[in-house]
A and B are shown apart, each in its own frame.
Chain A
Amino acid sequence: MEARDIAASGPAGIPRRLEAPSPRYGEKAIYGLLALCAALSVVTTTAIVISLLGPAFGFFQEVSPGDFFLKSEWAPAQELFGVLPLVLGTLSVVLWGLVFAIPIGLGAAIYLSEYAQPRVRKVVKPVLEVLAGIPTVAIGFFGVSLVTPLLQDIWPGEFIGGPPGFFNAGAAALCVGLMIVPIISSISDDAMRSVPGGLREGAYALGASKMRVALRVVFPAALSGTVASTVLAFSRAVGETMIVILVAGNTPNLTLNPAEAIQAMTAYIGVTATGDIATGTIEYDTVFAVGALLFVITLVANLISIRLVRKYREVYE
Chain B
Amino acid sequence: VSNEFEPRTERTRLAVAGARSATTAALNDRPRGEAVRSRIFQALIMLAVSIALIGLAALLIDAFVEGEGRLSLNLFTEPTSRDADGAGFRTAILGSLWLIAGVIVLVVPLGIGAALYLEEYANRERWWNRLIELNIQNLAGVPSIVYGILGLAFIVRGPLSLGFVIAAGSMTLALLVLPTVIIAAREAIRAVPPSIREGSMALGATQWQTIRHQVMPAAVPGILTGVILAISRAFGEAAPLLLLGAATFITADPNDPFSGDFTALPVLIFEEAKQAQPELRELAAAGIIVMLAVLLAMNSFAIWLRNRYEQKW
List chain A positions with a Cβ less than 8 A from chain B: 20, 24, 26-27, 30-31, 33-42, 44-45, 47-48, 50-52, 54-55, 103-108, 110-112, 115, 124, 126-128, 130-131, 133-142, 144-146, 178, 181-182, 185, 207, 209-211, 214-215, 232, 235-236, 238-242, 245-246, 266, 269-270, 273-275, 279, 287-288, 291, 294-295, 298-299, 301-303, 305-306
Contact = CB atoms under 8 A, between A and B. Distances in A.
A37 B121 CA distance: 12
B67 to A, nearest CB: 9
Nearest to A49: B150
B136 A41 contact: yes
Given A207-B30, A269-B149, 17 more contacts: A34-B116, A41-B135, A48-B146, A51-B152, A105-B52, A107-B47, A128-B52, A131-B52, A134-B236, A136-B238, A137-B269, A138-B292, A142-B62, A210-B42, A232-B141, A246-B274, A291-B146
B62 A299 contact: no
A279 to B, nearest CB: 7
B297 to A, nearest CB: 13
B269 A38 contact: no
A273 B150 contact: no
Interface SS majority for chain A? helix
Contacts of B48: 103-108, 111
A41 B114 contact: yes
Contacts of A306: 134, 137-138
B99 interface: no
In this complex, the member of B111, B237, B239, B244 whose beta carbon has the largest number of chain A beta carbons within 10 angstroms is B239
A20 B141 contact: no
A310 to B, nearest CB: 10
A144 B182 CA distance: 35
Interface in B101-122: 109-114, 116-118, 120-122
A48 B142 contact: yes
Contacts of B136: 41
A137 B270 CA distance: 6
Contact of B59 (A112, A124, A139, A236): A139
Interface string B269-285: 11001100000010011
B49 interface: yes
B58 interface: yes
B145 A38 contact: no
Contacts of B121: 31, 34-35
Interface string B19-38: 00000000100100011011
Given A134-B59, A306-B137, A107 B44 contact: yes
Contact of A137 (B41, B178, B208, B236): B236
A145 B38 contact: no
17 contacts: A41-B178, A42-B131, A48-B142, A107-B48, A108-B52, A128-B56, A133-B229, A134-B59, A135-B237, A137-B270, A137-B288, A142-B58, A145-B62, A210-B38, A241-B143, A245-B274, A298-B143
Contacts of A107: 44-45, 47-49
The size class of the interface chain B forms with chain A is: 35 or more
B245 interface: yes
Nearest to B299: A133
B13 interface: no
Contact of B110 (A37, A138, A288): A37
A35 B56 CA distance: 41
A273 B66 contact: no
B56 A127 contact: yes
Given A20-B206, A124-B53, A137 B273 contact: yes
Interface string B208-230: 10000000000000000000010
B270 A273 contact: no
Closest 7 interchain pairs by CB?
A239-B143, A107-B48, A135-B236, A37-B113, A51-B153, A241-B239, A34-B117
B277 to A, nearest CB: 13
A42 B132 contact: yes
Contact of B243 (A27, A130, A270): A270
B71 interface: no
B254 interface: no
Contacts of A207: 27, 30
Contacts of A34: 113-114, 116-117, 120-121
A51 B59 contact: no
Nearest to B247: A275
Given A34-B113, A52-B149, A246-B270, A142 B59 contact: yes
B45 to A, nearest CB: 4
B113 A128 contact: no
B138 A299 contact: yes
A270 B145 contact: yes
Contacts of B49: 107-108, 111-112, 124, 128
A104 B235 CA distance: 28
Contacts of A295: 142-143, 146
B295 A135 contact: yes
B157 interface: yes
A266 B145 contact: yes
